[in-house]
Amino acid sequence: MKNIAVAGTGYVGLSTGTCFADMGNKVTCIDINEEKIDMLRQGKVPIFEPGLSEMIVRNVKAGRLHFTTSYVEALADAEYIFICVGTPSGVDGEADLQYVRMAAQSVAQNMTKPIIVVNKSTVPVGTGDWVADIIKRSQPQPMAFDVVSCPEFTREGSALTDFMNPDRVVLGSKNPEAAEKVAQLHLALRTRIIITDLRTAEMIKYASNAFLATKISFINEIAAICEKLGADVQEVAVGMGYDKRIGPAFLNAGLGYGGSCFPKDVKALEHMALVHGSHPSLLRAVIDINRDARRWALLTLRELLGGRLTDRRIGVLGLAFKPNTDDLRESPALDICRMLQNEGALVTGYDPVAMAGAARMNSDLHLAEDPYDLAEGADALVVCTEWNEFKQLDLARIKNSMLQPVVVDGRNLYEPDKMHELGFQYRAVGRGAKYTNGH
């Protein structure tokens, strides 16, 4: 059993700390937000992540998982501290490292014995060296430590599964012995462990996310072409995905990527490239295409509703950026809500878990009790999040509830032929061949 401290109790910090505790380690999670720590001590989880609440309760009861606002308490016996704080986008797209700086300073000021500092937050290339400098400058007296980069590759909505069954663990450090010690923590996961230098490990994270975002933007650009040429992007994606060099993952055309990782990481990589004299033309195109994917919903609604959206009642199915999470950061749904409101539309939203957060972020957004309430008297529905419950809706009931049976499906959740048979005016992303066959 190892003693581990985890700084930050967001998606990454909570899943990291809880999973390490579940593997038999003693873990103390630190956060400067007293309200959040109080909630966690009471067994309440401030985020929605399937299975997380149950795992936290189990490990707290077993005495392996603790929560505190005190670095003194957390670092008293810690052999490792994982920094898992947020790195939001700055004004120019750069990663804002203020929380990383605060965590590094707190570690330096409160450590009482040698420790390994593990950067789990997504940070710009070179941050490991920067963190080491901060700790050296902030220590009351010199004390040995090492910095290891261990980027996270978990997805919201499946964070626990991804942590426990990773494709690989990437570690980078100037001290190979420190990296080997962090590798020992992950041996039970029985996966590939890649050990490299600090900067390469940091770059692997950014390059991975940028590539996945590129696949999403690529298929959305193909979808736009399919609509013009009468092809079906879903069948195109299947045909592409059988090629082992391409693979089927992240080839789902829709409203683009959102959340806490892809948007800020692509922008941060573009910013790093610019300030160091490179020309990130592909990354810029990825960002532009992703923005245009949201506009598709607005333009399609204008077309189907006669050009004007003023006073039209529009229902938005799904508000979180993806299913199985309540995260609204960079949510395509919220962007679409704002665009519709700017056009004078009367917008109502529904989401299984994210409505409270949506109300805080958009006070003008009306909320429905369920999808059927959302459809009542609506001029159109926009599908923005592919929650499983939306796949099981009584579509005939939905149609009969609507003022106009217009559905704009931003996640290709339904089959065009069936929607047309039911009498909907239906548009999906990049499914041109189905429109032709359906009319």
Reported as a single tens digit per residue, the pLDDT across 26-68 is 999 999 999 999 999 988 999 999 999 999 999 999 999 999 9
The residue segments making up the domain with residue 181 are 3-196
Residues 6+ apart with CB under 8 A from 333: 255, 316, 318, 319, 320, 321, 349, 351, 384, 385
Report, as an integer, the average pLDDT of 335-361.
97
Give residue 439's pLDDT: 44
Whether residue 312 lies inside any domain: the answer is: yes
Residue 219 falls inside a structural domain? no
**Do 36 and 81 reside in the same domain of the chain?**
yes
Q: What is the mean pLDDT of residues 214-228?
A: 97
- Measured at the CA of 376, the angle between CA 374 and CA 380, to 5 degrees, comes to 70
Q: Residue 315: which CATH number?
A: 3.40.50.720
For the cut 50, the answer to whether the pLDDT of residue 90 exceeds it is yes
- In the set 19, 84, 261, 384, the catalytic residue is 261
309 and 411 assigned to the same domain: yes
Determine the Cα angle at 58 with ends 3 and 154, to 5°. 70
Domain stop point among 196, 216, 247: 196
The answer to whether residue 202 is domain-embedded is no
State the pLDDT confidence band at 433, using cuts at 50, 70 and 90: low
Q: Output the pTM of the full model.
A: 0.92
Name the domain count of the chain. 2
Average pLDDT, the chain: 95
Does residue 225 sit within a domain?
A: no
Q: What is the pLDDT of residue 437?
A: 43
Which residue matches tokens 């014995």? 113
Q: What is the pLDDT of residues 279-331, one digit of tens each?
A: 999 999 999 999 999 999 999 999 999 989 999 999 999 999 999 999 999 99
369 and 255 share a domain? Answer: yes
Q: Residue 197: how many CB atoms within 10 A of its CB?
A: 15
- Domain check: are 280 and 374 in the same one? yes
Are residues 416 and 294 both part of a single domain? yes
Is the predicted pLDDT of residue 89 greater than 90, yes or no? no
Residue 14 predicted with pLDDT over 70? yes
Domain check: are 284 and 175 in the same one? no
Catalytic-residue membership of 29: no
Q: Is the pLDDT of residue 123 over 70?
A: yes
Average pLDDT over residues 9-13: 94
Q: Are 171 and 141 in contact (CB under 8 A)?
A: no
> Domain check: are 374 and 291 in the same one?
yes
